Every structure is written in C-alpha cells, then in structure tokens.
Copies of this chain bind each other. A is one copy, B any other.
Amino acid sequence: PMGSPSFLERAQALLRVRNQLARECLAELLAVFVLIVSGACRRAGAGRGAVGALGVLGAPLARGYSRSPRTLCSQPRSLAGAHLNPAFSLAMCLLEQFPWWKFPIFMAVQTFGAFISSAAVYAVHYDAIWHYSNGTLTTSGPRETASIFATYPADYVSITNGFVDQVIGTAVLIVGLLAIMDTRNKAVPKGLEPVVVALLVLSIEVSMGSNCGCPMNPARDFGPRLFTYVAGWGAEVFSRGNGWWWVPVVAPLLGSVVGFAVYQLFVALHHPPEDGAPRAEQNSLVFVGTALTEMSPGEKDAAGILPQKK
C-alpha cells in the first residue's frame, strides 16, 4: 500500500531466494521445526504421578489437533510440496506426483529439520530435563529422558511385532491420505483436509501407540535419535530394544508401499476413466503433508508404551 519501497520490500530485494528447490527445502525445514517444537512433550515435567500423567495425556490430544496448523507455514502457495514425512514423499513418488530424484533430498531435509528441532526442544526443557534426570541423561530406567525425543518399544514388544505394527499403522494412514487426496472422492471440502488428516493420525496413534508409540515417520524418529546420541545420551539410543532404531525407519516406508497398493487395488483402479481429469489434486497435497508428521515420542507415554516408572 506504500509508495516508496518499505523495509520489507528492501529486505525482499536483498534476500530473496529464487531457486524453487531451495525454497521448497527452506519451507520444509521450517515446517518440520514448527511441527516438532510445538508438538514436543514434557516428559520430564510430566513424570509426577497422576497429575503428571494427565499432562502427558493432554499431549497426544494436542498433537493430533495441531497437525492442522503446522502445515501452514510450509505451504505458501508459491512453494510446492511440504511432505514432512519420507513415508508420504514415497507414496507421492509411487503416485507419480513427485519426482523420484527429489525423494532423498526431502528425506535429508526432513531428518535435518527434526534434528535441529530436537536441539530447540532440549533448550526449552533444559532445566526440566536435568532436574528430572538427576544429572544423568539415560535411555532406560525410571528416570530416562531419551523417549522425549525418539521412540522405544514397550518391554513386551518384539522387533517382529513392532515391525508389523509400523507397517500396518503406516499403511492405514496412507490409505486414508490417498482417499482424502483422491479428487474422484469429493468427501472432504477444500479447507477441512488438515483437520480430517489430523483426526486420522490421532486415531491411529491412540489406537496403536501402546506398542512403540506409533512413529510412522522415519525422519521424525531418526533425526531426534541422532540428536540424543550427539547430545550425551550415548550409544544406548541405538541399542535399546534389541537395536530397535531401524524399525521406525524401514517399516513406515514399507507400510507406505503397502497402503498405496491396497488403496489402488480396492478403490482407485476401479474408478471409471474420466475425461482427462488429474489423478489427484496438487493443491490438496499441502494439507496431507501435515498428517504425516509424527508426534514427539515422549508424548506417547500416555498410551502406556514405554516401561512405566514404578
């Protein structure tokens, strides 16, 4: 509205990044950051009997809800494709809606975003974590704090069961997302996708979180785990749960393929051919991305996932 170039206009002239991929990666990074920082839980502060447990309970609820706003900052109209989750990026590649060559780049950016978000979460909860952990950052035991960042299976859950859990969980998620994105499927009005996706993710997490917290997102799980390794929790973050760490990396990707195949076989392939209509709505990808971002594993205590404190 102003005549002479304003401060913002001058800043834009100076700093504007014109490369499409770079802009996509910046937005993806910010989106993952907002997602994780706003969804991080306070395990340490929460471990106080009933009241603490209630705080933890609130977390998964809020996490589910907050799926919707998070995608916002990742999808200005002029930037394409915030996915937030490698499992979703993979499904987009299979759908022929996202180029295969961008897949590893996005996966790296998503994982890096999760890593630096973990640093911010650590900064915000620095006093609480050290207060709670009595001066030692541990990955197991009654005062462990590693599960604030990454997921660990419940004591009674085998690697096999955890793997099946993550394949089925992610497959169900991808079936739901593909249904929401399917333009021949007019069910969800334009702006409600993030809410619907958030409810879908919340539902799956609450239903399946008891085994291993239902990460369903390789980047969201591996980035923070790497951070805890670097920040002083030590190698146990990879060894605990019989080397559990690779399950939330591999199983969601396999689940994504399974979910894609099931939706094609049960629904999409049987659509009558339409007059050149696009196979799915580009714009709606924006919202769907939201759903794939996972909850902070520390929040998953509410589902009784991790070994309970005595």
Q: A residues within 8 Å of B by Cβ?
A: 1-2, 6-8, 11-12, 15-18, 23, 26-27, 29-30, 34, 37-42, 44-46, 48-66, 68-79, 95-96, 120, 123-128, 131, 154, 156-158, 161, 164-165, 168-169, 172, 175-176, 178-180, 182, 184-192, 194-200, 202-211, 262-273, 278-279, 283, 286-287, 296, 301-305, 308
Quickly give the copy total for this chain. Answer: 4
A187 and B75 in contact, given A66-B202, A203-B65 (Cβ under 8 angstroms): yes
A-B contact pairs, 12 of them (CB 8 A): A1-B278, A34-B175, A39-B207, A40-B207, A42-B209, A44-B210, A55-B57, A58-B206, A70-B203, A127-B161, A127-B211, A186-B283
> Which of the residues B57, B76, B204, B211 comes within 8 Å of A267, measured between beta carbons?
B76
Other A-B pairs beyond A12-B273, A76-B179, A76-B184, 5, CB < 8 Å: A30-B175, A62-B202, A62-B206, A124-B211, A127-B158
> Which of the residues B30, B42, B268 comes within 8 Å of A304, measured between beta carbons?
B42
Q: Within the assembled complex, what's the spacing in Å between the Cα atoms of A305 and B187?
A: 34
Question: CB-CB < 8 A to A124: which residues of B?
Answer: 161, 164-165, 168-169, 208, 211
Q: Within the assembled complex, what's the spacing in Å between the Cα atoms of A153 and B238?
A: 34
Q: Within the assembled complex, what's the spacing in Å between the Cα atoms of A126 and B34?
A: 35
Closest to A300 in B: B55
Contact B203 A62, beta carbon cutoff 8 Å: yes
Q: Within the assembled complex, what's the spacing in Å between the Cα atoms of A225 and B68?
A: 33
Q: Within the assembled complex, what's the spacing in Å between the Cα atoms of A206 and B295?
A: 13
Least distance between A258 CB and chain B CB atoms (Å):
12
Least distance between A98 CB and chain B CB atoms (Å):
12
> Which of the residues B51, B172, B188, B283 comes within 8 Å of A53, measured between beta carbons?
B51
Q: Within the assembled complex, what's the spacing in Å between the Cα atoms of A264 and B73?
A: 11
Least distance between A300 CB and chain B CB atoms (Å):
10
Contact B8 A264, beta carbon cutoff 8 Å: yes
Q: Within the assembled complex, what's the spacing in Å between the Cα atoms of A206 and B38?
A: 8
Contact A186 B123, beta carbon cutoff 8 Å: no
Least distance between A308 CB and chain B CB atoms (Å):
6
Closest to A155 in B: B131
Q: Within the assembled complex, what's the spacing in Å between the Cα atoms of A186 and B283?
A: 9
Q: Within the assembled complex, what's the spacing in Å between the Cα atoms of A287 and B2?
A: 24
Q: Within the assembled complex, what's the spacing in Å between the Cα atoms of A62 and B209?
A: 12
Contact A262 B38, beta carbon cutoff 8 Å: no
> Which of the residues B55, B192, B286 comes within 8 Å of A210, measured between beta carbons?
B55
Question: CB-CB < 8 A to A15: which residues of B?
Answer: 265, 269
